[in-house]
Each structure stands twice: as C-alpha cells, then as structure tokens.
Amino acid sequence: MSLVPARTDRLLLANAIMGQFLTGVATRIFIVSLPTLAVALNTDIIAISWALIVYQLAGISLSVVFGRLGDIHGRYTIYGLGFAIMTVSFVLCGLAPNAFLLIVFRLVQGLGAAMIASATRVLAMESMPEHAQGRANGYMTMGFHSGLLIGPPLGGLVIDLLDWRWIFFLMVPMGVLGVVLTVLRARKPRATATAPAGRAPSIDYLGAALLIALTVMLTLLLDRRSVEALGSERAAVMALVFAGTLVGFLAHERRTVSPVVNLALFKIRMFTFSVLSLLLIATTISVMSFLMPFYIQDVLHFSPSFMGLIFLAAPVFTVGLAAVSGRLTDRVGPRIPASFGVLATMAAFAIGLLLRVDSHWILPTLMMVLLGVGSGFFNTPNQAAIIGSVPREYRGFATGMVQTIFGISALLGISLGGVLLTLAFRYYSGVADATPSPANPRAFVASMNLAYLACLLLMVVALFPSFLRGGTKIEAAASPS
C-alpha cells in the first residue's frame, strides 16, 4: 500500500504551510522589538538578548529529538501540541512582568517551535503525490520566508501603533488557527510513513539526552554573548566537556539498537552531501547577514528604514522562486537547481568584494537580490534531498536535522564573521588590539571584503558536494540494517 496520497491533501498541506509561516514570523518579529523590550522591562540589551538565545537553544537542541519521536510515535500529535504550546507562550510572553519571566516563556515558545519545525516539511511531503518532494518543499520555503518577510515590518508597525506586548498577542490567532487546522485534519484518516512492520522501535533516551547536551553546549560556545557571560576559563572547560560528550555520544549511537541519530544514514550520498552543502552555505549567508547592516547604516549612512527595504529583496526573490525551483527539482533532480543556487550566492559574495566606503546603494541591493535567488533555488531542492533520500521512517529525523543545521550555521556564521572581521581590522588599522568599528570606514570595509573573500572560498567548497550529491530524482533509501 502506498504511503503517500494519489492526490494532494490540501488541508494537510495548508496546515504544514501554516506551521512554517508562524515560525518564520515568530523568529523575525521578536528581533525588531529587542531595543523596545530592554527599555520597557528596565534591563539592558545583553540581558534581553537571552530571550533570543534560549529560543534558538530550544530549536537547535530539540528539533532532531522531536523529529525522531515523531518517526516512532506519530508526528501529528507532536505537531499539534507544538501549535498549542506556542499559542499559550504567546499569551504568557505578552503578559510577562519582567525580563526573567519573558526569557522563561520564550524558552517555552522555542520548545513549541521545535515541535512544529520537526514535522512541517515531512507533513507537506506526505500531503502530496509521489515524486512531488520538490513542490512540497517549495511550498515550505515559501511559507517560512513569507513569515520572515512580514515579521520585521509587522513588528515595527505594532510597536509604533500599539505596544510591545501586542507583538505576542497578535500571534495568538495564528497559533489558534494552526490548532484548528490540526484538529480538523486529525479527524480524517491519513496515510503515514511508519516504521517497518513489527514492534515499534524503543526511544533512545540516553542518546536524546546526550544530543540535547551537545547542541546546548555547542550553541553556547558559538554564541559570542554566551562566551562573554561564561568567561574564557569556563568556556574552555565547556569545550573539553563538549569533546568528551561527543565521543561518548558517537560510541553510544553505534551500539544502541534504535539510535536517535542513526549514523548509517550518513552512508547515503545524497543525504550526506546535501547536509554538508547546507552547513557551508547557511554559514556564509549568516556572515553576510551579520556584517551587511553595519556597512549599509554606519558606512553608507542610510537610514534603518531604507536598509530594511534593501533587505526585503532577498526574501521576495526567495518566495517568488521557491515553487519554480521545486517543480524543476521534481523534473531533473536536486543537483542542477541547488548548484545554480550556490552559483548565484557566490555571485553575491563576488559583488561584496567590490564594495567601497562610497559605493552606490544598488550594489548591496544587488547582493540581496542574488542572495534571494540563490536561496530560492538552493533551499527547496537541498531540503527535499535531505528529507526525501532517507528511509521514510527517518524523515522526521531528517527534518529536525535541517532545522538544527540552520540554527548552528547561523551562530557559526556570526562567530566566523566576527573573528575574520577582527583579525583583518587589526591588520588594516595597524592597531594590534583594535575592535572593528565603522568609525574607521576604510579599514572596516577592507576587513569586510576579506571576510567575503573567505566566504566565497567556502562557497567554492560547497559547490563540490552540491554536484556530487547525485543528479537523479530523489528516492527514499532502504532501511539501514
């Protein structure tokens, strides 16, 4: 019996898109409110930034675990519970009387977001006919990036017209809609991808706990604010603990019968090379996203609102091209569209090498356009390849892996961008202990150019696994022994 419908399950697809859209909006609408929240809750920007860190922590550390739990026990219950938790957390965040409780409630919100993110893409793939993985993931890319597109201007408008609390209250109807869609769909019979016949696999509780500990430690080590809070000595100790835990985790996963991370999956060429491509590209994009605002606002001296318009170019093109890329993936496989996306992103970094202290605004805008084109063509086929190439009973794990890699890459990109900028700035400024600052625009821009050159070289490396992933249509691998 087929595990996928002969026709598109529109209600299930709409529910999956709603999950992507909600998490996209929730991610970006909060970021623009950070300065306002710091003032309103009588704290500083470093303290309030922990409300952002704990949300990221939950998403990075729990997505794979929830994805695997969904594979074993059914992902729809976890998906619906994620909507419910996020909805309640929106209310609690809006009512938070102080920064500490806001941080706690944002951790709860991240828990719900991880539950949703662990299932959205695989539910979309289950809602559509066989060999429509590209289109399904195209819709997911459109949903998430539409949320990223709408979040910042919506957040700014709400804060200006109402109050910061309403950026959370405004999200409640979206969460309720997600719960309603989940309940409506749960009443209908649904074919699902389950494990092979026989006794259900047991849950690898120790492996899950070790994986959560590893991702939490890695997130804290990659986040500059966390390292500053820990101090250099504690950070060094944590790095050693991380290394020891990683060795123990890998040894455990090799021995256990039902591992949370089945290492045999990395023998699947399309899966492994697609994961590597995503890690490299997401990291370099994070470097650009981190450095570009300082250049546009502090070097070129454009207003924040004009900078916001420049940054809109990327998600607009990503949303517009995601469906096209999805259809192309279903026709020719993931290699051609994904590799074209890598090349478009490389072109964006190549333009970054030409930026100067007096460049026209059209150059950073063109970089954002190419970044959007690259993401539109890369994300859809690459994520379809990651999820569609593994055995069906591991698709939740693969979906969680996508979310975890995105989160780790974002932090890795910020750390890499900071290190490259600092080292280059000290060289160009001639001051051994200088801190990068647009106050010395020529040294800052030269340092940024060097950082973009390093990213361009990483993109060249990313092009190889993108080509080597295989050019055939996406097929689910046989279950690992």
Q: How far apart are CA 459 and CA 480, in angstroms?
A: 31
Q: How far apart are CA 40 and CA 47, in angstroms?
A: 13
Report which of 70, 91, 110, 142 is spatially closest to residue 325, judged by C-alpha positions: 142
Q: How far apart are CA 455 and CA 468, in angstroms?
A: 20
Burial 199-231 (b: 16+ CB within 10 A, else e): eebeebeebbebbbbbbbbbbbbbbebbbeebe
Residue type, 118: S
CB contact at 8 A, 28 and 148: yes
For residue 187, the model assigns a pLDDT of 60
Count of residues making up the chain: 481
For residue 387, is pLDDT > 80? Answer: yes
Residue type, 63: S
The fold of the 264-481 domain, in CATH, is Growth Hormone; Chain: A; (1.20.1250)
> DSSP assignment of 259-321, as one string?
-SS-GGGGG-HHHHHHHHHHHHHHHHHHHHHHHHHHIIIIIS---HHHHHHHHHHHHHHHHHH
DSSP 473: P
Report which of 24, 51, 23, 27 is spatially closest to residue 37, judged by C-alpha positions: 51
Q: In the structure, how many helices (H) and strands (E) does the chain have?
A: 19, 0
CB contact at 8 A, 424 and 450: yes
Q: How far apart are CA 43 and CA 41, in angstroms?
A: 6
Query: In whole angstroms, how far apart are CA 252 and each of 32, 62, 204, 249?
Result: 42, 19, 10, 5
Per-residue pLDDT tens digits for 432-463:
888 888 888 999 999 999 999 999 999 999 88
Name the band, by pLDDT with cuts 50, 70 and 90, for residue 191: very low
What does the H/E/C string look like for 73-140?
Answer: HCHHHHHHHHHHHHHHHHHHHHHCCCHHHHHHHHHHHHHHHHHHHCCHHHHHHHCCCCCCHHHHHHHH
Per-residue tokens: 147? 């949320």
Name the band, by pLDDT with cuts 50, 70 and 90, for residue 201: low
For residue 198, the model assigns a pLDDT of 52
Q: What percent of the chain has pLDDT over 90?
A: 21
Q: How far apart are CA 132 and CA 384, in angstroms?
A: 9
Classify 194 as helix, strand or coil: coil
Per-residue pLDDT tens digits for 19-32:
889 888 888 777 77
For residue 193, the model assigns a pLDDT of 46
For residue 222, the model assigns a pLDDT of 77
For residue 2, the model assigns a pLDDT of 43
For residue 268, is pLDDT > 80? Answer: yes
Report which of 265, 395, 384, 272 is spatially closest to residue 332, judged by C-alpha positions: 384
Residue type, 439: A
For residue 199, is pLDDT > 70? Answer: no
DSSP 49: T
Q: What is the CATH number of domain 1-187?
A: 1.20.1250.20
Mean pLDDT of 114-123: 87
Name the band, by pLDDT with cuts 50, 70 and 90, for residue 45: low
For residue 362, the model assigns a pLDDT of 94
Query: In whole angstroms, how far apart are CA 368 and each of 21, 147, 152, 388, 459?
Result: 21, 17, 16, 29, 16
Q: Tell me the average pLDDT of the chain.
A: 84
pTM confidence score: 0.84
More confident residue, 228 or 197: 228
For residue 169, is pLDDT > 60? Answer: yes
For residue 3, is pLDDT > 60? Answer: no
> DSSP assignment of 304-354, as one string?
HHHHHHHHHHHHHHHHHHHHHHHHHHHHH-SHHHHHHHHHHHHHHHHHHTT
Q: How far apart are CA 22 and CA 197, in angstroms?
A: 35
CB contact at 8 A, 148 and 315: yes
For residue 392, is pLDDT > 80? Answer: yes
Report which of 263, 3, 300, 308 is spatially closest to residue 130, judged by C-alpha positions: 3
Q: How far apart are CA 111 and CA 107, in angstroms?
A: 6
For residue 200, the model assigns a pLDDT of 57
For residue 302, the model assigns a pLDDT of 84
For residue 171, is pLDDT > 50? Answer: yes
Mean pLDDT of 329-337: 87
More confident residue, 479 or 279: 279
Per-residue tokens: 105? 């409630």
Low-confidence winner among 72-76, 208-212, 400-404 (lowest mean pLDDT): 72-76
For residue 221, the model assigns a pLDDT of 83
Mean pLDDT of 145-163: 81
Per-residue pLDDT tens digits for 51-107:
877 888 888 888 888 888 887 777 788 888 999 999 999 999 999 888 889 989 999
CA-based radius of gyration for the chain: 22
More confident residue, 103 or 192: 103
